[in-house]
Structure 1
Amino acid sequence: MKNNWRDGNKVDLLINGEEFYPRVFECIENAKKEVIVETFILYEDKVGHRLQQALIKAARNGVRVDFTVDDYGTWDLSKDFVKAMTDSGVKLHIFDPQPKLLGVRLNLFRRLHRKIVVVDREIAFIGGINYSADHMMDAGKKAKQDYAVELRGPIVADVYRTCLRLSLQELSRKEQRSRLKAAEEETCKPAGDSKVLLVERDNISHKKDIEKQYLLAIRLAKKRIVIANAYFFPRYYFLLSLRRATMRGVEVTLIMQGRPDMPWVTALSRLLYKYLLRSDVKIYEYNQRSLHGKIAIVDDEWVTVGSSNLDPLSFSLNLEANVIIQDKKLNQKIDAHLNELIQQHSHRIDLELAQRGYWWRVPLIFISFYFLRVFPSIAGWLPAHAPTFKHILPKRRFWSKKATQPHEENNGEGPIKTYDKGSIS
C-alpha cells in the first residue's frame, strides 16, 4: 500500500537519547488504549530497563502493548527480562528468530531495522535511536549522535497502519483484513502546518521507496543538500546524482563518521571521497562522538529523518522507515544544528588528503564501484523469508532451537516469533 503526503502535522526534532527517551517513556506510561513499539536493538542496560518499566506500567493499566524487536539486534535478552514484560501483558514479537551456529548469529540480512513508536494512534516517533545506553552522552567514548522526530496529526494514522500490517501476522487472513479495514478508516486531527510523507522499505512492494525519495530531492535541489549519515556507501547512481547537483551550482555537503563504531564501514566510505571531492562535494568527518544519525535537508523546506542508512543493507535488504517533511522552520533548525557540528566538532576532508596512499587503493575503489552497481541485483538472490509467529510456553526456553516454519506469503519480511501473555513471551 502506497502512503500519501499528509497536511496538517506537527513535527518536533529530538536529538540524542537525552531528548528522545524521556519523551517516549512519558507517552508510553500515559497511554490510554494502545502502544506499538518496534526497534532493532534493545539492551538490558539502564535504557532497556527503563523502557521495560514503561511498557509494563502501560500493560498493567489495561493498555494493549505490542513490542517487536529484531532477533539479530536483541539476541541476548534474558529470560527474566522477557518474562517480566509478558507476565504483565506485553505482547513481545521477535522478528526473524534464527538459531545460532557455534555462538554466531546467522540472520545477517533482512533485518527489522526501523525504529517506530505509536501511542494511542495520536502520537508517533520515528528515527534512528535504539534502546541502549550508548545513545546517552554519559556513555563516554561509546556515545552516539542520533536523531528522531515526534509526530502528531494525520501522518500518525499512516505510521499506525504500517506497524499494524507487521504485527498482525499472527492472525488469520480474515482477521488481518478485518483489522486493516478498520485501520484504513483511522484518521487523526490536524495538529500543525507540516506536510509529511511516510516512506518505507520492505522486500516486496516498497523495495526502493526511500532511495527514490532521496534521488528525487537531489535532482530537484536548487541551492543546497546537506546529508549526515552514519554508513555512507550508496549505489553508483546516487553518487552520480550528487556530482550532477554540484554541476548545477548546488552546494552539496556530506557529514560522515570521524569516530566510527564500525571502522571497516568508514573505510569503505573513504574509498568514495576522491570521486566526490573532484566535483566540489564538501565532506566533513564528525569527531565528537560516533555518528549514528540518518538525517538530511535539501534547499529551504525538505527534511528526512528515519532509520535508513545510505548503504546496501538499508537500500536493498532491511525493513526501514523514514519520514519526508516539508517544513521551513524544521529545515532551518536542522541546518543550524548541523552547521554547529561542522564548525565545532568536524574536520574537512580535502582532495589532497583523500589522495594520500591513493595508488594502493585504486583496485579497491574499482571493486567498490562495481559492487555498488551490482549489489541491488545480488540482494534479490538472498532469501526473503515469509513471516511466521511462534508461541512459546512458559516452561520453554526463551530462545527455542526449533526452526520456525514458513507461514502465509506476505510482504517479504522475515519470520516473526510472538510471545504473548501466558507464554515466555
Structure 2
Amino acid sequence: MTSTGAIVTAVREEGSSVAAAGNHIDWLIDNAETYSRLLESLRSARRSVRIAQLAFDADCAAYAGGSLAGSPSDDVAIAELLIDLARNRGAEIKILLNATWILNTARQLRKFFAERGVPEEQIEVRGLSRFPHFMHAKLVLIDEREAFLLGSPFVNSYWDDGAHIPFDARRPSRELGGRPLHDVSAHLRGAAVRDLESLFASVWDAAAPAQSAISRATRAANASASGARQTGVRVVADAPDGILPSRPDGTMQMLGELLAVIARARSFIYIEQQYLTSRIIVAALVDALYRNAALEIIIVLNQNPDLTAYRGWQNAQLREHTLLSHPRVGVFSLWSTGAHPEHAGVTRINQLFIHSKVIVVDDEWAAVGSSNLDGVSLGDYGADFASALGRSVFRGVRNVEVNLVIDAGTGMQSDSLLTDPIVTLRERLWREHLGWPRDSLTVRAHEGWLATWRDVARANARRLGSPARIDTTGAMVGRLLPYSPRAYPREQLADAGITLDPARLALCYNPGWFGVFASPHWIRNIF
C-alpha cells in the first residue's frame, strides 16, 4: 500500500498543519487533541464512517475539558455520536475490530448497539479473528475524504492531554495502572486517504464470513498500481498472509522501510516507542553506530511496558549491545509531576506511559503509526525470542499494522518542502519532552542533540533528588529522566538519585512483584 505525493508547502504552526500536493497532514499530540479533532470531523460526516481498531469500549469518552475539568456525556461518547450519525444522517458506519479469543470487544459493542435499537444495517461491527495474529491498526475514515491514523484504542485508560497530570480519576487503572499517557496521531486528507480506504476494504473483506472473489481481485488491481519506495508521503501496511491481496505472503514492508532508513542515517535517529524488543532493529542500530562515528541515537521508552515478557526482552537488548552506556546513545524515560491535591507541599510523581510509535531520522524521514519496534508488528513475532523453540513456535506471527511515512530523500538531494513536516513533528515532541521553546530546537548544536537531552534529564534528577522541599510549580522542566533497567518505579527513581519521601515526593504507580513481573493489566484486555 504505497502512494506518493510531493509536498509543496508546509505551514509551520502550533497546530502542525502541513499542506501538500495530494496530502494534508495535521500532527495530533496526545489524545485530548486527537479526540477534539476527531469529534469535529465525525459531526460533519454525511455519507460514511469506517473504523478499524484494536479495541472499542462503548463507554469510551472524549472529555469536554482538560485534565482538571470536563466530564463524559452523550455528546462526547464516541459510540453515542456514531448512533446519532446513523439515525439522523443515514451515514453508513462500519467498525472493524480485533476479535481473537484473547481480545474481543466486538461482541460487547454489537450488544451495546443492539440494546440501543440500532440495526446492523446502520452500524455493522465486524471482527477479525486470526489468532495469534491481531488487528492492531487504528483508523477512522470519514466520507472518503479524510482519515485519522490513530495511536490509541478507543478505551478510556488511554485518554490524556498535554498536561499529563500524575493522577486523573477519569483515567481508569485497569489497563495501564492509571498512568498518564503520551501518544501521537495524524489527521490526513488527500492521496493517502485513498490508500487507507483500500487497506480498510481489504481487511474488512478478509473479516467477512465468506470473502468476495470479485472484491479481492479489485483490491489487488488497485493496490498493484502503488509505486516502489521513493521520496514523498506513503502509507506502509503489513498484515498476516492472505489479508492484503496484492502482497506476497511473508512480506515485511515496515521492517524494510526501517532497515533502509537506519542504514542511511548520518546525523541522528530519534526513537519514541512503546517497546524496543526487535533484535533485528537493535542490531541495525548498532551497525549504524559503528559505520558512522558522528551518528547519535536518542531513544524514549517505557521502563515498565504493559506486556509480560517485554520489559525483560527490552532490557536484555539494551544490555547486550551496551546501549545504556554508549557515548552516542541516550535512553530516556518520561515522568509526570504535580502538586498533591490533599497534602500541601507534597509533589506526586508518576511514570508517563509512552504509547506513541514515532521515528525521525536526520529530519529527512519520519514514521508515525501503529507499528511497535517488536517482532509481531514488524512481521515475525518469533524473531524476538532467544530460544529456538520460541522462534519456531511464533515464526510468522504478525499483526495488521499501518503507518504513515514521509521521506524527503537524503543530504543535498533532500526535498526541503518534505523536511518541513518532519521537523515540525520533531519540534512539537521535543518541546513537550524537554520543556524548551521551539527556537532552541530548530538548529542542531555543534556538539549534537544528545548533550541537550542528557543535560535536561540530569537537571530534573537533581531537582527531584534535592533534600529541599520541591517547588511543585517547577519540579521538572519537560518530562525527562534517565532510563533505568530496574524493575520497580521506586528503584528507577533511586537510580537517578531520587528518594521517595511521603512528606515531599509521593509515587502514584507503585506496583508490587506481580504487577511488575506478570503485568496483569493486559489480562483485562484479553477477555
Question: Does the CA contact (< 8 Å) of 2:110 and 2:125 recur in 1?
Answer: no
Q: Any idea what SS the aligned residue of 1:271 has?
A: helix
Give 2:164's aligned residue.
Answer: none
For 1:181 and 1:244, locate their aligned partners in 2 and report how far apart those are by CA, in whole Å: 37
The more displaced of 57-66 and 218-227 is: 57-66
For 1:284 and 1:345, locate their aligned partners in 2 and report how far apart those are by CA, in whole Å: 10
Give 1:3's aligned residue.
Answer: 2
For 2:155 and 2:484, locate their aligned partners in 1 and report how far apart those are by CA, in whole Å: 35
- TM-score, normalisation: structure 2: 0.58
For 1:216 and 1:184, locate their aligned partners in 2 and report how far apart those are by CA, in whole Å: 22
Question: Does the CA contact (< 8 Å) of 1:157 and 1:186 recur in 2?
Answer: no
Deviations 1:63-103 (A, max 9, x none): 22111111215266266413134457111111118xxxxxx
For 1:183 and 1:25, locate their aligned partners in 2 and report how far apart those are by CA, in whole Å: 30
Relative to structure 1, the CA distance from residue 172 to residue 270 in structure 2 (aligned partners, 3 Å threshold; closer, same or farther) is closer
Is the counterpart of residue 81 in structure 1 residue 112 in structure 2? Answer: yes
Question: Does the CA contact (< 8 Å) of 1:229 and 1:295 recur in 2?
Answer: yes
Question: Does the CA contact (< 8 Å) of 1:259 and 1:286 recur in 2?
Answer: no
Relative to structure 1, the CA distance from residue 183 to residue 121 in structure 2 (aligned partners, 3 Å threshold; closer, same or farther) is farther
Is the counterpart of residue 329 in structure 1 residue 420 in structure 2? Answer: yes
Give 2:193's aligned residue.
Answer: 156
Q: 1:219 aligns with which of 239, 242, 263?
A: 263
Q: Any idea what SS the aligned residue of 1:117 has?
A: strand
Q: 2:50 aligns with which of 21, 28, 36?
A: 36
Deviations 1:215-260 (A, max 9, x none): 111111111110111011012x321221122230211111101354
Is the counterpart of residue 277 in structure 1 residue 324 in structure 2? Answer: yes
Question: Does the CA contact (< 8 Å) of 2:58 and 2:79 recur in 1?
Answer: no
Deviations 1:342-361 (A, max 9, x none): 542122248999xxxxxxxx
Give 1:45's aligned residue.
Answer: 59
Relative to structure 1, the CA distance from residue 167 to residue 88 in structure 2 (aligned partners, 3 Å threshold; closer, same or farther) is closer
CA RMSD of aligned residues (A): 3.1
Give 1:133's aligned residue.
Answer: 156
Larger proportion of helix: 1
Q: 1:24 aligns with which of 28, 38, 46?
A: 38
Residue 10 of structure 1 and its aligned partner are, at CA, apart by 1.2
For 1:89 and 1:258, locate their aligned partners in 2 and report how far apart those are by CA, in whole Å: 43
For 2:125 and 2:486, locate their aligned partners in 1 and report how far apart those are by CA, in whole Å: 52
Question: Does the CA contact (< 8 Å) of 1:252 and 1:281 recur in 2?
Answer: yes
Deviations 1:236-294 (A, max 9, x none): x3212211222302111111013543464223211222212354321112233211111
Residue 26 of structure 1 and its aligned partner are, at CA, apart by 2.4
Larger radius of gyration: 2
Question: Does the CA contact (< 8 Å) of 2:303 and 2:485 recur in 1?
Answer: no
Q: 2:91 aligns with which of 50, 55, 63?
A: 63
Give 1:379's aligned residue.
Answer: none
Q: Any idea what SS the aligned residue of 2:61 has?
A: helix
Relative to structure 1, the CA distance from residue 78 to residue 119 in structure 2 (aligned partners, 3 Å threshold; closer, same or farther) is closer
Partner AA of 2:334 in structure 1: Y
Q: Any idea what SS the aligned residue of 1:91 has?
A: strand
Partner AA of 2:129 in structure 1: D
Relative to structure 1, the CA distance from residue 337 to residue 267 in structure 2 (aligned partners, 3 Å threshold; closer, same or farther) is farther
For 2:402 and 2:41, locate their aligned partners in 1 and report how far apart those are by CA, in whole Å: 21
Question: Does the CA contact (< 8 Å) of 1:127 and 1:305 recur in 2?
Answer: no
Q: 2:429 aligns with which of 338, 349, 354?
A: 338
For 1:143 and 1:57, locate their aligned partners in 2 and report how far apart those are by CA, in whole Å: 30
For 1:246 and 1:142, locate their aligned partners in 2 and report how far apart those are by CA, in whole Å: 34
Residue 14 of structure 1 and its aligned partner are, at CA, apart by 0.8
Give 1:90's aligned residue.
Answer: 123
Residue 318 of structure 1 and its aligned partner are, at CA, apart by 0.7
Give 2:283's aligned residue.
Answer: 240
Residue 298 of structure 1 and its aligned partner are, at CA, apart by 0.8
Relative to structure 1, the CA distance from residue 135 to residue 172 in structure 2 (aligned partners, 3 Å threshold; closer, same or farther) is closer
Relative to structure 1, the CA distance from residue 17 to residue 73 in structure 2 (aligned partners, 3 Å threshold; closer, same or farther) is farther
Percent identity, please: 21
Relative to structure 1, the CA distance from residue 152 to residue 185 in structure 2 (aligned partners, 3 Å threshold; closer, same or farther) is farther
Give 1:253's aligned residue.
Answer: 298
Instruction: Figure out how many residues of one structure are paired with residues of the other and give that number.
Output: 336
Partner AA of 1:341 in structure 2: H
Give 2:357's aligned residue.
Answer: 294
Structure of greater relative contact order (alpha carbons < 8 Å, 6+ residues apart): 1
For 1:264 and 1:181, locate their aligned partners in 2 and report how far apart those are by CA, in whole Å: 37
> Structure 2 stretches of 5 or more lacking a match?
7-20, 63-73, 161-167, 172-177, 242-246, 337-351, 381-397, 408-417, 435-455, 457-477, 488-527
Question: Does the CA contact (< 8 Å) of 2:202 and 2:216 recur in 1?
Answer: no
